[in-house]
Amino acid sequence: MAVSFGIFERLKGKGVAAYKKGDYLTAKTYLVDAAECMVDMAETAKTPEAKRQHEELAAELIDLAKDSDRMHRSGGKGRRPGVARQREREGDSGADVADWIVKDKPTIGFDDIAGLDDVKEDIRLKMIYPFAHPELARQYGISTGGGVLLYGAPGTGKTMIAKAIAHEIEATFFVVSPAQMLSKWVGEAEQNIRKLFEAAKSEPTSVIFLDEIEALVPKRKSDSSTVMQRVVPQILQELEGFDRTGDRALLFVGATNKPWMLDEAILRPGRLDARIYVGLPDAPARFRLLEIYFGGRPLAEDVDFGELCDRLDRYSGADIKNIAHRAAQLPFMEAIAGKDARPISRQDIMTVVEATRPSVNPADLIRYEKFTEGRK
């Protein structure tokens, strides 16, 4: 494992260096080799999680190799459309961070999120009120910015909340996915983390969002790779280096559905010290989710949200969104086949619900509760 990771790092490093120099043909060769190396490692991975991460990394490398090929064929003129657009939007500040982070101004707010009232209030107290009332916050010695960890089952709205926080404080939103980070940053991890934080600090207010943070900051003992050994301390250092009293504010939001896999060090005061559990939707939240995701779709008279709301106990927001989508497909497919267009019926919805189990299993819910208890 250590040996093949070393080889992988070298291949990847050479590929990225060649890409940056504009030597796209060489870049492509190294990147394909590095991707192959990752595929091999995925095949012998010890855990499904490691396998998935290796596969994601391989896919990223293939993307970059394809990009190199395109660039080579077009004589270096064929910038990736996504990157080009991004640069245009930013007025090309020359920041080469645009290649590996997405910079955005999210438009969804807390009102678009069903339920989670206590989570929203917690976030308002810790992050939004201090921004909205800086003078009072200063008087009372309340700090602005800092780090928060959102944890909970998949599909419960963690990513949505992170975006909504940025929207509520009108911050620039920097999203980094660990898979991207690890594939693009091998060999230059520290430097790039510094660049990310610098880019964020150059905005008046910014939110850095690190999704699946456990992939990047895992318990150090459990990961032997050299990248991790360098990345973890660097992130911790940047987190501690926040100036929480100045005019510019930086907020760091990490999200995970495996909080127990995180390196304890990142949970210490001054780092991700606010930890917020994002749970499954309660009955009023499920009602609101039904309104949101069936809203704008034709519904038959026999559809009763109250009844559905009870039936959907233990289903996540993402599950309910998915159910609405699939229920709508039934009359849609019929109409395509030539039948009269009809509204979505109770039967359509029930058919889908019966065929769909809640995606979150009870054993995991118990683990989240235990994690929460253990941290009180």
Residues near ligand ATP (CB under 6 A) are 113-116, 154-160, 255, 257, 281, 289, 292, 317-318, 321
> Nearer Cβ to ligand ATP, position 187 or 254?
254
Q: Do residues 166 and 207 lie in contact, with contact meaning Cβ atoms separated by under 8 Å?
A: yes
The H or E element that residue 94 is part of is none
- Report the nearest approach of Mg ion to the CB of residue 158 (Å): 5
Conformation bin of residue 241: beta by default, left when phi > 0, alpha when psi is -120 to 50 = alpha
User: Position of tokens 């003078």?
Assistant: 135
CA dist 128 and 107 (Å) reads: 16
Q: Which amino acid is at 367?
A: R
> Nearer Cβ to ligand ATP, position 57 or 164?
164
- Report the nearest approach of Mg ion to the CB of residue 278 (Å): 10
- Report the nearest approach of Mg ion to the CB of residue 230 (Å): 26
> Nearer Cβ to Mg ion, position 29 or 159?
159
Angle among Cα 20, 22, 28 to the nearest 5 degrees reads 85
- Report the nearest approach of Mg ion to the CB of residue 146 (Å): 21
- Report the nearest approach of Mg ion to the CB of residue 164 (Å): 13
Residue nearest to ligand ATP (CB): 317
Q: Which does 206 bind (CB under 5 to 8 A by kind): Mg ion, ligand ATP, none?
A: none
- Report the nearest approach of ligand ATP to the CB of residue 52 (Å): 13
Q: Which does 160 bind (CB under 5 to 8 A by kind): ligand ATP, Mg ion, none?
A: ligand ATP
Q: Which does 146 bind (CB under 5 to 8 A by kind): ligand ATP, Mg ion, none?
A: none
- Report the nearest approach of ligand ATP to the CB of residue 329 (Å): 17
> Nearer Cβ to ligand ATP, position 13 or 358?
358
Q: Which does 102 bind (CB under 5 to 8 A by kind): Mg ion, ligand ATP, none?
A: none
> Nearer Cβ to ligand ATP, position 16 or 324?
324
Residue nearest to Mg ion (CB): 159
Taking CA atoms, 366 is separated from 79, 260, 279, 348, 369, in Å, by: 48, 12, 11, 32, 5
Q: Which does 156 bind (CB under 5 to 8 A by kind): ligand ATP, Mg ion, none?
A: ligand ATP
CA dist 125 and 128 (Å) reads: 6
SS3 call for 105: coil
> Nearer Cβ to ligand ATP, position 130 or 279?
279
- Tell me which residues touch Mg ion (CB under 5 A): 158-159
Taking CA atoms, 152 is separated from 160, 277, 302, in Å, by: 13, 6, 34
Taking CA atoms, 6 is separated from 41, 63, 186, in Å, by: 12, 21, 10
Q: Which does 345 bind (CB under 5 to 8 A by kind): ligand ATP, Mg ion, none?
A: none
Conformation bin of residue 9: beta by default, left when phi > 0, alpha when psi is -120 to 50 = alpha
Q: Put the strands of the sheet holding 146-151 in their side by side order.
A: 102-104, 172-176, 205-210, 249-256, 146-151, 274-277
> Nearer Cβ to ligand ATP, position 58 or 116?
116
Q: Which amino acid is at 288?
A: R
